[in-house]
């Protein structure tokens, strides 16, 4: 079977899979593409092909180049002048509408500065007004409105929207049906506020416990688990009318440098690259993923000289030719240090296009990047035909998700944060909670026998939330937040307070392998005292490697309230623990295994 036929068959398989793994019916009907099959992997059929080609043919060079760029804007609606100074400083114009018009943008991306991401009505109004601006342009091409709504610790749209536990939490459930329901709901709520493209799911295989940038954003360390859940969530997003973007190709899971600040490099051989890190991407690509986001990292087995985002060997050779992907290649943010520390915005944009990228995301200097691409075409460094190829892919993806048919929200606003959606989030938080250690049999706590609890550890909001959740089970609660690296005097004060309570609950956050030792010392000191201690890791599950002697330890994979709620429900026996580790927890010196992949206790 030829690659195109494989991709088309995969797209149909993905939609069928989404329909069989619990995607809500309403999500299935959102912004249905006008043609059967969906997906950006194969070309549209006759009428659509003619529409898209005629659109490209009448676009000016400036409009074509503008379609390649996606960037953020400042303001709560298209004509908002309240952030004029910020827009002026970055783009030289005052309003979001003027930014779209100046660069003929193909897409915008939402962050907290896009008004108020906790106000669904405002976000919906911004989306609608920006689509109005795009529709009034000569090309009349709708925008892709994008967001990083990965779930878990990376979620731009917050409460009252439904904020779910993240990918590693879903990995702990081992349930593709639940993962699909989570992302189907995410698609439905994104559609309701006018978001058309989600930069998710993360398909990085987190094989490095010291990874500073992926960690719990990954479904786990095993390619089959990541590929299965990643493909299910991708299909659910796209069945809900939202383009999915699998990231970060060819796999950011074994890095030890954060690409926001530096340039990571991975040394493993090609067999490891393909069988571990690329395998989940290949699975999702064959199932019809609309888009792939690149990683700003050097993969020495393919190109020892250039980061993947700028490497023709990676994007064209590996992704396009070897894996047969003909959808959108989206760069990670071009303003990140991994690239911006070495090249200017024009050089980065031109190199990314030459490598094979289609969508240029968030250059540090938008003016320089935009002019750089225009100059490269006018000088013959990049052909107009090459630009048109990428624009055709961009338009094809927009058509496949129904944006030419209707770029506006289809779901009513009241679906956002609905009780039915919140119930699925609660289910996910409870089922993800992993009881890693219960050596003394302390759990579940009997609320009738626990009169008072001290809640301490990392995070003012986290400890306050844990305190209120514990209090709801009956005990009197005292909260003492200690920060990421408590000093000895803080630890001494917590120890004195602990003596006045029946149980201590300690929240830790990325305490394993950290140069700051305060969290480790806090836990060790409390463990050595008389009061029973329950440790809850609220991000990476590896924390126990720094204090392996603790008797009672749970992993939540997130500090989001719904994850903390699941942990407290397990602590008091309201639900039984069912989560299983999606990663191996090594010893602190990495010479052995403390807890294996798949470990998880019940009671």
Q: How high does pLDDT run on average in the chain?
A: 92
pLDDT, tens digit (0-9, with 9 covering 90-100), for 275-299 = 999 999 999 999 999 999 999 999 9
Task: Please tell me the distance from the alpha carbon of residue 306 to that of residue 303, in angstroms, as a whole number.
Answer: 6
Query: The pTM is what?
Result: 0.92
Same domain, 360 and 474: no
Task: Please tell me the distance from the alpha carbon of residue 255 to that of residue 264, in angstroms, as a whole number.
Answer: 6
Task: Kindly state whether residue 601 falls inside one of the protein's structural domains.
Answer: no
Range of the domain at 112: 3-408
Same domain, 380 and 456: no
- Does 179 sit behind a cis peptide bond, omega within 30 degrees of 0 on the bond before it? no
> 4-8, 117-121, 390-394 — which one is most confidently predicted on average?
390-394
Task: Please tell me the distance from the alpha carbon of residue 285 to that of residue 127, in angstroms, as a whole number.
Answer: 28
Place of tokens 């679906």: 415
Confidence grade of residue 45 (pLDDT, cut at 50, 70, 90): low
Same domain, 243 and 290: yes
What average pLDDT does this structure show over 137-141? Answer: 95
Comparing 7-21, 36-50, 146-160, 388-402, the range with the smallest average pLDDT is 7-21
pLDDT for residue 47: 66
Whether pLDDT at 8 is above 60: no
Whether pLDDT at 18 is above 60: no
Q: How many residues are given for the chain?
A: 603
Task: Please tell me the distance from the alpha carbon of residue 76 to that of residue 553, in angstroms, as a whole number.
Answer: 43
Task: Kindly state whether residue 428 falls inside one of the protein's structural domains.
Answer: no
pLDDT for residue 141: 97
pLDDT for residue 46: 63
Confidence grade of residue 481 (pLDDT, cut at 50, 70, 90): very high
Confidence grade of residue 31 (pLDDT, cut at 50, 70, 90): low
Q: Count of H helices and E strands in the chain? A: 22, 20
- Does 250 sit behind a cis peptide bond, omega within 30 degrees of 0 on the bond before it? yes
Task: Kindly state whether residue 603 falls inside one of the protein's structural domains.
Answer: no
Q: Catalytic annotation on 260?
A: yes
Task: Kindly state whether residue 602 falls inside one of the protein's structural domains.
Answer: no
Higher pLDDT, 279 or 8: 279
> In the chain, what percentage of residues exceed pLDDT 90?
90
Same domain, 93 and 174: yes
Task: Kindly state whether residue 415 falls inside one of the protein's structural domains.
Answer: no
Place of tokens 């593409």: 33
Higher pLDDT, 41 or 93: 93
Looking up residue 302, the CATH number of its domain turns out to be 3.20.20.300
Task: Please tell me the distance from the alpha carbon of residue 108 to that of residue 97, in angstroms, as a whole number.
Answer: 11
pLDDT for residue 179: 98
Same domain, 273 and 321: yes
Task: Kindly state whether residue 538 falls inside one of the protein's structural domains.
Answer: yes
Reference 339, options 374, 363, 367; nearest CA is: 363
**How many domains in the chain?**
2
pLDDT for residue 19: 34
Same domain, 437 and 399: no
- Does 248 sit behind a cis peptide bond, omega within 30 degrees of 0 on the bond before it? yes
Q: 477 CB contacts (<8 Å, ≥6 apart)?
A: 452, 453, 454, 455, 467, 468, 470, 471
Task: Kindly state whether residue 413 falls inside one of the protein's structural domains.
Answer: no
Same domain, 364 and 455: no
Confidence grade of residue 36 (pLDDT, cut at 50, 70, 90): very low
Same domain, 301 and 438: no
Same domain, 346 and 439: no
What average pLDDT does this structure show over 63-71? Answer: 98
Confidence grade of residue 16 (pLDDT, cut at 50, 70, 90): very low
Whether pLDDT at 378 is above 90: yes
Whether pLDDT at 131 is above 50: yes
Q: 455 CB contacts (<8 Å, ≥6 apart)?
A: 463, 466, 467, 470, 477, 478, 479, 480, 504, 505, 507
Confidence grade of residue 530 (pLDDT, cut at 50, 70, 90): very high
Q: Catalytic annotation on 177?
A: no
State both tokens at 111. Answer: 């962050």
Confidence grade of residue 105 (pLDDT, cut at 50, 70, 90): very high
Same domain, 464 and 359: no
pLDDT for residue 118: 87
pLDDT for residue 596: 98
Please provide residue 6's backbone torsions phi and psi, each rounded to the nearest 5 degrees.
-60, -45
> In the chain, what percentage of residues exceed pLDDT 70?
92
Same domain, 399 and 363: yes
Same domain, 484 and 392: no
Domain boundary among 408, 441, 466: 408
Q: Which of 35, 260, 405, 473 is catalytic?
A: 260
Reference 142, options 405, 447, 383, 320; nearest CA is: 405
Task: Please tell me the distance from the alpha carbon of residue 338 to that of residue 458, in angstroms, as a whole number.
Answer: 29
Q: Which of 175, 303, 332, 365 is catalytic?
A: 332
Task: Please tell me the distance from the alpha carbon of residue 65 to that of residue 246, in angstroms, as a whole number.
Answer: 24
Confidence grade of residue 29 (pLDDT, cut at 50, 70, 90): very low
Confidence grade of residue 516 (pLDDT, cut at 50, 70, 90): confident
pLDDT for residue 240: 96
pLDDT for residue 514: 83
């Amino acid at each position: 079977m030829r690659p195109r036929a494989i991709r088309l068959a995969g797209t149909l398989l993905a939609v069928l899979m989404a329909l069989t793994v619990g995607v809500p019916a309403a999500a299935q009907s959102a912004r249905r593409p006008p043609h059967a099959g969906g997906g950006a992997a194969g070309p549209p059929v006759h009428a659509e092909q003619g529409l898209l080609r005629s659109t490209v043919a009448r676009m000016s060079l400036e409009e074509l180049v503008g379609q390649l760029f996606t960037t953020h804007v400042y303001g709560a609606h298209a004509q908002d002048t309240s952030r004029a100074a910020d827009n002026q400083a970055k783009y030289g114009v005052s309003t979001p509408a003027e930014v779209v018009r100046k660069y003929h943008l193909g897409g915008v991306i939402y962050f907290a500065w896009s008004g108020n991401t906790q106000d669904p009505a405002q976000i919906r109004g911004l989306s609608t007004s920006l689509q109005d601006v795009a529709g009034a342009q000569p090309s009349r091409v709708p925008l892709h409105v994008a967001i990083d709504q990965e779930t878990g610790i990376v979620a731009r749209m917050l409460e009252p929207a439904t904020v779910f536990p993240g990918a590693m939490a879903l990995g702990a459930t081992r349930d593709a049906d639940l993962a699909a329901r989570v992302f189907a709901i995410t698609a439905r709520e994104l559609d309701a506020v006018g978001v058309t493209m989600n930069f998710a799911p993360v398909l990085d295989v987190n094989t490095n416990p010291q990874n500073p940038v992926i960690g719990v954003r990954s479904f786990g360390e095993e390619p089959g688990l990541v590929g299965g859940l990643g493909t299910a969530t991708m299909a659910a997003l796209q069945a809900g009318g939202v383009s999915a973007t699998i990231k970060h190709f060819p796999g950011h899971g074994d890095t030890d440098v954060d690409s926001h600040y530096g340039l990571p490099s991975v040394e493993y051989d090609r067999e490891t690259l393909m069988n571990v890190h690329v395998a989940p991407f290949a699975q999702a690509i064959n199932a019809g993923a609309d888009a792939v986001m690149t990683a700003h990292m050097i993969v020495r087995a393919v190109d020892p000289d250039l980061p993947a985002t700028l490497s023709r060997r990676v994007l064209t050779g590996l992704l396009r030719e070897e894996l047969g992907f003909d959808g959108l290649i989206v760069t990670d943010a071009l303003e990140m240090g991994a690239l911006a520390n070495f090249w200017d915005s024009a050089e980065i944009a031109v190199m990314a296009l030459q490598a094979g990228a289609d969508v240029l995301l968030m250059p540090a200097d938008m003016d320089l990047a935009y002019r750089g691409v225009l100059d490269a075409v006018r000088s013959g460094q990049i052909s107009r035909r090459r630009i048109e190829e990428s624009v055709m892919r961009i338009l094809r993806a927009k058509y496949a998700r129904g944006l030419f048919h209707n770029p506006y929200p289809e779901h009513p606003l009241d679906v956002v944060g609905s009780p039915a959606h919140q119930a699925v989030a609660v289910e996910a938080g409870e089922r993800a909670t992993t009881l890693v250690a219960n050596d003394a049999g302390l759990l579940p706590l009997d609320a009738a026998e626990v009169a008072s609890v001290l809640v301490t550890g990392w995070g003012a909001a986290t400890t306050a939330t844990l305190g209120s959740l514990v209090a709801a089970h009956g005990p009197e609660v005292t909260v003492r937040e200690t920060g990421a690296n408590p000093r000895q005097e803080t630890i001494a004060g917590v120890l004195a307070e602990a003596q006045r309570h029946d149980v201590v609950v300690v929240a830790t956050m990325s305490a394993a392998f950290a140069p700051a030792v305060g969290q480790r010392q806090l836990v060790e000191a409390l463990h050595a005292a008389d009061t029973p201690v329950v440790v809850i890791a609220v991000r990476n599950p590896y924390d126990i490697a720094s204090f392996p002697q603790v008797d009672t330890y749970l992993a939540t994979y997130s500090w989001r309230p719904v994850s903390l709620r699941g942990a407290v429900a397990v602590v008091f026996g309201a639900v039984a623990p069912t989560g299983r580790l999606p990663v191996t927890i090594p010893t602190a010196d990495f010479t052995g295994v403390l807890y294996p992949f798949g470990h998880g206790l019940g009671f």
